[in-house]
Structure 1
Amino acid sequence: MPYHLHFGEADPLRIRFAISPLWETQGAVRVLTRPRQQGYHLPWLRRIAEAARGVDLAPLHLLMPERGHNPDFLYPPPIGPAATFEEEIAAVRETDPAVAADDFARALAETPGAADTPAGRRMLTDPAGAVRWLADLVEQAWEALVAPEWPRLRALLEADVAYHSRRLADGGLERLLGELHPAFAWSEETATLTVEYRGEHVRALDGQGLVLLPSAFVWPDVVSGFDPPWQPTVVYPARGIGGLWTEARERTPDALARLLGRARADVLCALDEPAGTSALAHRLGLAPSSVSAHLSVLRAAGLLTSRRYGHQVLYERTPLGIALAVPQPETD
């Protein structure tokens, strides 16, 4: 049963991308109880295991049924293209209790017996207090599960946005939507985006446009289904999650390390996707000043190009840089 998002005349001109640390937090919480989504994230799961045990995530999991409604107010579409977690969680705390009560009732009804648990009764009888309580839990989840890795995650998401923004500019909306995920199908005749997923949802965009939100943790699914007044949004798996938790030293050829030096070779090999200085420094465990110096040398040698995206400069490999970073098969 698919989602159907109907575009009006102005909506194709109002497509935008966004990044949401709040959405990555809910995705991280969800992955903890979804074995089918854990494959790419096993190194991260091992790192955060102890921290996760220190947060009572059960009330959040209660509101995450495998199928059906999840509270939109708790994980809303992003309030801006690059809002901080602090800005997003502040908006959650301001939720009208009546809106929260309706969301609680719908989500708890998806799981038999959920409304009769102590946590479920607390949400239904005191929605205003439950909003504060759950916002505190989400903030604890952010600090324990996501914040320590946010530079790495943000770099992946920003690289995805930069890549698909270029694809939109080069090939138009139909080409972009066809590449984002196999579940997407665009009909030029009816101006409708159909998303195959577990649920039935029909919405006319009515001039609001569509937010495309890459996520590291949503794989292999896509998520939509936001009802008014929420901004129409589709969450899709970001490119490059297969190498998200791989350390550069694990993929740096020894011959390249001897040629360029270990640290400089690690920087080159870490750029499977475009990334900025701070993200690379976090990933490699190097000082930002050192990474910046290595990036300058690699760019001067023709192995990297750079361009500004938002608040930072993103670096990516040139064809020559790709040829050096990818191990070549041995020949007799």
Structure 2
Amino acid sequence: MSFHLHFGPEDLLRCRFAVSPLWETQEALRTLHQSERHGYYGPWLRRVRKVAARIDLSAYRLLMPRLGYAPDVLCPPPRDRSASFADELARVRAADPELVREELARSLADTPGAAESARGRAMLADPAALRELTDVLEQTWRSLLLPHWPRHRALLEEDVAYRTRQLADGGLERLFADLHPALTWRAGTLTLHNRGDHERTLRGEGLLLVPSAFVWPKLVGGFDPPWQATLVYPARGIGGLWAAPAAPSDALVRLLGPNRAALLAGLAAPATTTDLAERHGLALSSVSAHLTVLRDAGLLTARRRGRQVLYERTGLGTAVAEG
């Protein structure tokens, strides 16, 4: 069983990337709901367990079939590369009520007994059902993702930067060869293996590529027309996203001091000042001062991406950090 996406000449020119806080929020809900994911996200689940227990998932459970359709209208493909959660949620809340009902009914039909349950019937009959569902999304975002979003977003943005370099070096063939083992690219057709049989011919709109920290080990592809064809894939480096920072060696601590040593050792991947302050429990002003010293010593570089400044180790910095 495979899902085939057929590209035309214009589609090859219109593939693009986006980061979606709304998608991450929905996948966080799915991770809470599906026990088979828990082994992959143990550190995150332990961190959010108490807060997550206060989120009512009863409505969403009916709309998350193990195999089947999840309503696209609740998490549409992002229009902008860096849309905010508020912008994405406002778009969902403004959806056509008839489209909402149609997609909810389709999803409920894929979960045995859901459409006939009292909750399922009420969801289809009540025009305010969308408000309840989006309120859950907003609560999940504010309580589970927003406190750690700078670090989370930096990981996704770094993945986009890496994939963009792949695209520049070797085109779509190079990009798709490394994106996920379930993908193959041949003669203008992208195939997702181990999926239900499905065909879609792109008609000039291209493919939207969205990295995710919560979709591992799967790959999500789809969105039927009129939605933009989208592929959500696991971002690189998610194993270290919720892990404690690497401890610096005693020799590095003696050389640089405990805080500078910790910052240098923990920069295995690019990060912002805000991310590093959260990760190491330090004040922003203190982190900024330490990063300036490390950069002046040639151990770090800084580069701007949009409104963010990302710090990463130089070759010398890596050699010093790793002894």
Q: TM-score range by the shorter chain?
A: over 0.9
Is 1:206 the counterpart of 2:210 in the alignment? no
Looking at structure 2, the residues matched to 177 and 130 of structure 1 have their Cα atoms a distance apart, in angstroms, of 38
Is 1:156 the counterpart of 2:155 in the alignment? yes
Partner of residue 55, structure 1: 55
Structure 1 segment 142-181 matched on structure 2, within 5 A: 142-181=141-180
Matched to 1:167, the amino acid is: Q
SS in 2 for 1:142: helix
Structure 1 segment 30-179 matched on structure 2, within 5 A: 30-126=30-126, 128-179=127-178
Is 1:320 the counterpart of 2:316 in the alignment? yes
Partner of residue 19, structure 1: 19
Matched to 1:261, the amino acid is: G
Q: Which string of whole-angstrom CA distances, capped at 9 and with x for unpartnered residues, describes residues 246-300 of structure 1?
A: 222x432222222211111221222222122222222222222222222222222
Structure 1 segment 230-245 matched on structure 2, within 5 A: 230-245=227-242
SS in 2 for 1:164: helix
Looking at structure 1, the residues matched to 104 and 182 of structure 2 have their Cα atoms a distance apart, in angstroms, of 29
Superposition misfits of 4+ residues, deviation over 3 angstroms: none
Looking at structure 1, the residues matched to 194 and 297 of structure 2 have their Cα atoms a distance apart, in angstroms, of 47
CA change 1:159–1:2 in 2 (3 A) is same
Check the 8 A contact 1:20/1:83 in 2, yes or no: yes
Check the 8 A contact 1:197/1:222 in 2, yes or no: no
Q: Give the structure-2-normalised TM-score.
A: 0.95
CA change 1:197–1:22 in 2 (3 A) is farther
Partner of residue 192, structure 1: 189
The Cα of 1:230 is off from its aligned counterpart by 1.0
Looking at structure 2, the residues matched to 38 and 252 of structure 1 have their Cα atoms a distance apart, in angstroms, of 29
Q: Which string of whole-angstrom CA distances, capped at 9 and with x for unpartnered residues, describes residues 105-161 of structure 1?
A: 1111111101122221122112x2111111111111112221122122111111111
CA change 1:62–1:254 in 2 (3 A) is farther
Check the 8 A contact 1:29/1:61 in 2, yes or no: no
The Cα of 1:168 is off from its aligned counterpart by 1.4
Mean Cα deviation higher: 292-301 or 18-27 = 292-301
Matched to 2:285, the amino acid is: S
Structure 1 spans left out of the alignment, 5+ residues: none
Looking at structure 1, the residues matched to 312 and 167 of structure 2 have their Cα atoms a distance apart, in angstroms, of 19
Structure 2 spans left out of the alignment, 5+ residues: none
Mean Cα deviation higher: 155-164 or 38-47 = 38-47
Looking at structure 2, the residues matched to 317 and 39 of structure 1 have their Cα atoms a distance apart, in angstroms, of 31
Mean Cα deviation higher: 116-125 or 68-77 = 116-125
Structure 1 segment 170-319 matched on structure 2, within 5 A: 170-187=169-186, 189=187, 191-248=188-245, 250-319=246-315
The Cα of 1:313 is off from its aligned counterpart by 1.6
Looking at structure 2, the residues matched to 87 and 40 of structure 1 have their Cα atoms a distance apart, in angstroms, of 30
Looking at structure 2, the residues matched to 246 and 253 of structure 1 have their Cα atoms a distance apart, in angstroms, of 18
